[in-house]
Every structure is written in C-alpha cells, then in structure tokens.
C-alpha cells in the first residue's frame, strides 16, 4: 500500500471532522534513503539518495487570520503558529513547520492556513521524517501564499529552518532529495553547486530499508561534534571543505594529523570518492560494484567516523549473508536507525522476511523491513469536489 493510500484518506477525514468541509489542497513530501554518501553533504561533497514511497501529507485550506493551526494525527495534538509572533517552544514536531515559516518570512509575506498532517516515514530512523515535514509545509505555504515553487530554493529554505531554528546543523541532502526527487531514480547531488543528476537503479534490483528499532536524537547526539571535527580537518588542509581534498592528498599528509581527526577526515574523503564511483556503477548497471562500495562505506562509518552501533552492525551483517544481497550499510546520521541494502528484486520478499527473523532472534528487537520504490519529490494538488477523488 502506498503512502497516499495509507494516510491520504485519514488526513481528509480528520480535516472534515475537525474543521468542517473539505481542504483546498493536499501537500506531500517524501522521506529518503541514502544509498551512499554519508556525512559528506555538509562537507560540500556528493551524496546519492533516493526519495522513498513513504511521505508526510498535509490537507489544508486558507485562514483569514495570520495563524497556522495544524493538527497531527501522528502525535494526536494540535499546535498553532502565530506568524506575527513566532516563538520557539522547544523540541517539538511543530518547530519544523514554524522554522519553515520563519525562514520563508524573511522573503515573503505569509498567509495563514489550517490543516491536518500525518506521515508514514518512521520517526527518528534516519529516513528524514523531519525534512519531509519541512518540505510538505513549504509546499503548503507556496499554495496558500501563491509564490512560485522552486525545488532548490525551497530545499535551502528548509535547511535554514533546521539549522537556525531547530538547531540541527544538517547539510542540504535531506531537504534537496525531498524537494527534487525523481520517480524511479536515485539522485546524485553535488552539495556545493546543488546540481542534481538522476541515476537509474540497476535492472532487477530493489532497495530495502532495514529499521533496527533503535532511535537517536540528532540535536543531543555527536552529530554536531563530528561536523566540527570535519571543519577543523578542512582547516588543517587549508581548503574550504573536505570535498577539496583528494584521496591522494589526504594520504600524503595523514600522518601529520591528530589520530581522531585523521579517522574522521579519512571517512569523508574516501566516502566522497566512493559515492562518485557508485553513481558510475549504477549508470553501468553494475549492482555488484555498488554493493561492494556500500559495504566499504559501512566499514568506514563504523571504524573511522564511529557513528554505527551494535544493532546496525548486526543487521548489516545478517543482510550480507543472504544470497540475494549485493551490499548493505547503515544509512542516515547514525547512532541508531536504519540500514539499507541493494538486493535482487526477485528475492526481495524472502530477503526481507529472513533478515527480520534473524535480526529479531539475534537481538531481541523487532526489525521493520521495507522494500521501497523511488518516488517523486514534494508536490501539491488541488482537492477535487469530493475528498475521495484525491
């Protein structure tokens, strides 16, 4: 069942019950899984994510005042954003919406709206549920206020909201893929220029997300510490970002570096190289090479960047033992959440069932496994005369 089939009717029913009548628009934005290129985005490097067929939806209509009144089915609560007096209320789901309003307010006069939101992107799993909510909110504001939608600019606006309002120093990848994803393709993103190139998945393959049932909080984690170490390493090499350090240049001076800084920089420099090679392998339909690079990426994240954990290592190891698996790695910022595997499509269901069963037996945790399709980025549609037509 697709996200639209799962959550679309629910947000429409709740909107009618809560506000009376139907909404004017439904905005949606997908979560994402990153095939390779972890912790490279804020180093101006390359990433290779795909938008997934799990998303956040907002059913909405305009208000006469300058308020956003939004009910979340996921959290069972209603929040109000005063557009003329925005105040941070703490770590709460509404801050992603309010942050987008704050970032947009610097460019245009905003209009109020009321809505209902729900999503089926697992929260805290490293699949960018926050970016999906941000881009769905941006799509909602663009519909109500009538400003033109430009994916790159909206991705930057949402990133600004998360950096400056929410307080997470994320790079651009999550927002960019949620804004600009292409159905059936991964997207190679140059995080410096924001140029994107759609890359097809190899024929006969499927992408499978492996949720370890462990969670992490980015603001309170070592994410910001890792980012600071990368900036220090760029300073060591006297370049704007680690993207400007080749593998050969790193190796030539690695022995001069502090051991921890050396490991962090080695991951980023080699991961950027792996990402570009993986994109070429995808274009060539070489699933085996993509899988090998994914395996290398996980080892680097585990040993050099030190953002994996036992459960992620366990599910990656179990996935690799299945004969249909080309390769697997942790995905997302780390410290918990999900892994991703590239597998033979004809064995994807058996792979999913086997990995879930073996992981549960090994850890006592109940894994959730999703065979995913690559979906389109954020959209908004006008609701037809009857909600069931959406």
Residues labelled as active-site residues: 174
Tokens of 227: 């980012």
Please state, in angstroms and rounded to a whole number, the distance separating the CA atoms of residues 33 and 342.
12
Cα-to-chain-centroid distance, residue 328:
17
Please state, in angstroms and rounded to a whole number, the distance separating the CA atoms of residues 308 and 330.
7
| Mode of pairing for the β-strands spanning 25-36 and 46-62 | antiparallel
Please state, in angstroms and rounded to a whole number, the distance separating the CA atoms of residues 53 and 28.
11
Burial label, 384 (beta-carbon count in 10 A; 0-12, 13-18, 19+): exposed
Tokens of 272: 């950027």
Angstrom distances, CA of residue 279 to CA of 185, 261, 319:
11, 27, 22
Nearest 5 degrees, angle CA 335-CA 40-CA 256? 95
Question: Furthest-apart CA pair in the chain: how many Å?
Answer: 68
Q: Which of 64, 57, 29 is nearest to 144 (CA)?
A: 64
Helices (H), the chain: 3-19, 94-105, 129-145, 151-160, 173-180, 223-236, 247-253, 259-283, 287-303, 310-321, 348-363
- Rg over alpha carbons for the chain, rounded to the nearest Å, is 21
In the numeric block, the tokens 């698996």 are attached to 325
Please state, in angstroms and rounded to a whole number, the distance separating the CA atoms of residues 156 and 109.
18
Please state, in angstroms and rounded to a whole number, the distance separating the CA atoms of residues 280 and 298.
19
Q: Which of 51, 122, 50 is nearest to 336 (CA)?
A: 122
């Amino acid at each position: 069942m697709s996200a639209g089939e799962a959550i679309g009717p629910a947000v429409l029913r709740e909107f009618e019950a809560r506000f009376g009548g139907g909404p004017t628009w439904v905005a949606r934005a997908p979560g994402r899984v990153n095939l390779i290129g972890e912790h490279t985005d804020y180093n101006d490097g390359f990433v290779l994510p795909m938008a997934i067929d799990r998303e956040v939806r907002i059913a909405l209509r305009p208000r006469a005042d300058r308020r956003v009144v939004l009910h979340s089915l996921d959290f069972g609560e209603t929040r109000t954003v005063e557009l003329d007096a925005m105040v941070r209320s703490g770590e709460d789901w509404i801050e992603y919406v309010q942050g987008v309003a704050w970032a947009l307010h610097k460019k245009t006069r905003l209009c109020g709206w009321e809505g209902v939101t729900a999503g089926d992107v697992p929260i805290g799993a490293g699949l960018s549920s926050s970016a999906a909510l941000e881009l769905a909110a941006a799509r909602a504001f663009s519909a109500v206020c009538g400003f033109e939608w430009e994916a790159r600019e909206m991705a930057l606006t949402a990133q600004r909201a998360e950096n400056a309002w929410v307080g997470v120093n994320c790079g651009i990848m999550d927002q960019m893929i949620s804004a600009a994803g292409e159905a059936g393709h991964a997207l190679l993103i140059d995080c410096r220029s924001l140029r994107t190139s759609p890359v097809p998945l190899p024929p006969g393959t499927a992408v499978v997300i492996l949720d370890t049932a462990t969670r992490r909080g980015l603001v309170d984690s070592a994410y910001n510490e890792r980012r600071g170490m990368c900036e220090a390493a760029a300073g060591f090499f006297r370049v704007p970002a680690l993207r400007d350090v080749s593998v050969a240049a790193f190796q030539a001076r690695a022995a001069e570096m502090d051991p921890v800084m050396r490991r962090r920089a080695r991951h980023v420099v080699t991961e950027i190289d792996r990402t570009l090679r993986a994109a070429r392998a995808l274009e060539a339909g070489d699933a085996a090479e993509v899988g090998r690079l994914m395996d290398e990426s996980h080892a680097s994240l585990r040993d050099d960047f030190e953002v994996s954990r036992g459960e992620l290592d366990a599910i990656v190891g179990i996935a690799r033992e299945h004969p249909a698996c080309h390769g697997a790695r942790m995905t997302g910022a780390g410290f918990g959440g999900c892994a991703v595997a590239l597998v033979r499509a004809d064995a994807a269901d058996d792979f999913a069932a086997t990995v879930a069963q073996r992981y549960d037996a090994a850890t006592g945790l109940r894994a959730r496994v999703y065979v995913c399709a690559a979906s389109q980025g954020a959209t908004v549609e006008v609701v037809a005369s009857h909600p069931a037509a959406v």
